[in-house]
Structure 1
Amino acid sequence: MKKKLIAASLLCSIGTFAHAQSSVQLYGRVDGGFQFMNNLQDGNGGTASRWSAQGGDYGTSLFGLRGYEDLGRGLHAVFNLEAGFQLMNGFNNNGSGSLFDRRALVGLNSLTWGQLTLGRNLFISNGVWDFDPFQQQAFSSASLVRGRNWPQASNTVNYQSPNWYGFDVVGQYAFSNIAGQFNNGRGMGAQLTYTHDRFQLRALYDEIRDTNGRFTDVFATSREYFAGANVFLNRFTISLGYTHMAAPDAPAPDFATRADHYWAGVKYQATAVWAANAAVYHVNVPGGFGHATMFELGTTYNLSKRTFFYGTIAYVKNSANQSFSVAAIPSDSLDNPPAGKSQTGAYIGISHSF
């Protein structure tokens, strides 16, 4: 009888342990290399070239913690803390001094109903990443929209659905957290994706409002509409993207109220360790603000599953009154070429994930 009681007690203990089991994972990426850019403004009416040591050209250097606790019946408590940093000086990426500037989330995950989280997160417009031939590198689809599609957002509620017959849905809402000013600084968006063995499609809408609750900057506080497609053909992946941005509250005619961004590219997985990319990006800003086209080539070579070398070169050609850079930088930065001038940029580096 005693043996049966002991056995029953052990079984109950094992069941309790399994029901409450949890996991915490440390992960990250470290990325560094060298960069060249020409036609940078020198502040005195001339231009100059620059060679520099750079971190994060291929992808942001970061570290994070993520984990879950099994609550039973397919339900988990989840969290994610993630910080970005500049490898070359160790500083926080956004300069705000916040520790977890990319993600600081807690929530619940259900195998049946999906995942709901609260906290700071990458803004939903980062969803263009999967359809960018250069995966939002320093020179990429972010360049000709001045980084409009890679910000973070605080005070968010995020929902990620399970996969339903190839479809999945993402929704995000970012509160202003200001009494009596519901719209001021508010953000929101929704994303629908369909994934098949041979192709993937995505539609996305988002909006970012300024501190007065208005859409006043086409590349910062605006509405954004995105459609993208990936086609998988053995060793080739063909990527297509279109983004329309609207800032109806921008004071025309001095400031642009809309812009259209297109791209097409291909990735070729030549061998198990070597791949090459090529893409063309184009932005048009109606209302006499001009246009720009960027051409880009890149390659990666894997040393292991977690470490690889990379190299990328890009060239942007601006119309007479535009000054886009090959990099995703604000319009007032001296790293933009003078209006009507072209710019070439290149970088090489090494990236390691853990």
Structure 2
Amino acid sequence: MKKSLIAIAVLAATSSAAFAQSNVTIYGILDAGITAERGGAQGNVTKVTSGAASASRIGFKGTEDLGGGLSAIFKLETGVKVDDGTLDNTTSTLFNREAYVGLSSKTAGSLTLGRQYTPYYETLRDVGDPFAMGYAGTAKNLFPVASYMTRNSNAVVYKTPNLNGFTGAVSYSLGEQQGDASAARQVGGSLGYANGPLNVAVAYNMKNNDTTVLKTAGVGHNSLVAANYDFKVVKVFAAFSKDKGQGSAPINGAASATATTNAFGYTFAQSADSQDALIGLTAPVSEAGTVMASYIRKNDKESFNRDADQWAIGYNYALSKRTSTYVAYAKIKNKNGAGYTVGNNTEAGTGDKAFNLGLKHSF
């Protein structure tokens, strides 16, 4: 009897110790389908693609309760390609999507260090884009959210707790250029307010393009206002961005942020002075189905006047809480030598029109 009581006491102590350790979750998204791209210089292409609606990924995240409302948090997330099983980036970076560790407080907010999303990108994704950066209609096709505008490495990010509907974030990404603390650094921030059907936010991003060698590359500035309002029968979206300076409008999918030989066969340089406007909607058409639509205009303020317009429509149907199927179509009209392409959440695209049909499962 005494041995049994001792065994129970040891088991209880062991269980308590286990619960005090980090709570780790393995999660992911598997998204695959058919994409048909039209209008490219090299001709039409139809392919099995990965991550059209949401980038396919696997991740690990966890928390440890430190007491007093304070927790240690971490996240490691890598992108994968379901169509061929490889990483979804060309640099072979293992955790290319997110990699950070930090502290979170229920009353003081969170502070994290590592590779993380920019406040500008999160604002457009969560508030302004009815396609949530996915499908053929993604705002990535025309808004300046490519490359360093999506995520920062070497970033320190502070996020406030929710204060009566108000939330905020500040991001500082160190350039890590020897002898010059300002070179290659990136600073961003956002402020949002959500109350009932209304969700509105503003965001800012600044990127210094200088290096230890080149001191005259210039600074890019981006200012964004985004909002949505849920009327129940339809949810309307709007976003407006002002992009000024070198590096303020990196081209989606380009090897260089400044210029690329695009899908239409000619050199297409980014604008250093442009504006982006979006209007869109989502509407439930059944208990499980949702229609998405948007119109985006890229207004190039430079003398080249390389404007572009995008129209997009999509439909998502939830087969369950974790599995959905979707279809989407978008078309871009380029003007005066502009060469923007219709991509999706993961790919930049090869032409001015694209169609997606796919299946997504979350775990």
* TM bracket (short chain): 0.7 to 0.9
Ranges in structure 2 where 5+ consecutive residues have no aligned partner: 249-257, 259-268
2:125 maps to: 129
CA deviations over 1:234-255 (Å, ceiling 9, x no partner): 132111000111115899xx87
Alignment CA distance shift 1:230-1:62 (3 Å): same
Ranges in structure 1 where 5+ consecutive residues have no aligned partner: 43-47, 337-342
CA deviations over 1:183-218 (Å, ceiling 9, x no partner): 22211100000001020010000122325387959x
1:160 maps to: 159
Alignment CA distance shift 1:255-1:101 (3 Å): closer
1:92 maps to: 87
Q: Given that residues 308 and 350 in structure 1 are in contact (C-alpha distance below 8 angstroms), is that contact kept between their aligned partners in structure 2?
A: yes
Alignment CA distance shift 1:351-1:255 (3 Å): closer
1:63 is paired with a residue of what secondary structure? strand
1:187 maps to: 186
2:251 maps to: none
Letter in 1 for 2:343: A
Q: Given that residues 216 and 222 in structure 1 are in contact (C-alpha distance below 8 angstroms), is that contact kept between their aligned partners in structure 2?
A: no
1:108 is paired with a residue of what secondary structure? strand
* Bigger Cα displacement from structure 2, 312-321 vs 191-200: 312-321
How far apart in 2 are the matches of 1:214 and 1:199?
Answer: 44
Alignment CA distance shift 1:248-1:64 (3 Å): closer
The normalised TM-score by structure 2 is 0.83
Q: Given that residues 342 and 349 in structure 2 are in contact (C-alpha distance below 8 angstroms), is that contact kept between their aligned partners in structure 1?
A: no
Letter in 2 for 1:103: E
Query: Residue 106 in 1 paired to residue 88 in 2?
Result: no
2:60 is paired with a residue of what secondary structure? strand
Alignment CA distance shift 1:52-1:146 (3 Å): farther
Letter in 2 for 1:348: L
The normalised TM-score by structure 1 is 0.85
Query: Residue 23 in 1 paired to residue 23 in 2?
Result: yes
How far apart in 1 are the matches of 2:44 and 2:181?
Answer: 46
Query: Residue 269 in 1 paired to residue 284 in 2?
Result: yes
1:168 is paired with a residue of what secondary structure? strand
Number of matched pairs: 330
2:44 maps to: 49
Report the CA distance between 1:71 and its aligned residue.
0.7
1:183 is paired with a residue of what secondary structure? coil
Alignment CA distance shift 1:210-1:259 (3 Å): same
Query: Residue 285 in 1 paired to residue 312 in 2?
Result: no
Cα RMSD, aligned residues only: 2.9
Q: Given that residues 145 and 328 in structure 1 are in contact (C-alpha distance below 8 angstroms), is that contact kept between their aligned partners in structure 2?
A: no
Alignment CA distance shift 1:87-1:134 (3 Å): same
1:309 maps to: 325
How far apart in 2 are the matches of 1:146 and 1:289?
Answer: 18
CA deviations over 1:63-84 (Å, ceiling 9, x no partner): 1010011111111111111111
Report the CA distance between 1:115 and its aligned residue.
0.7
Aligned pairs for 1:186-335 within 5 A:
186-212=185-211, 222-247=220-245, 256-290=271-305, 291-327=307-343, 335=350
Alignment CA distance shift 1:215-1:93 (3 Å): farther
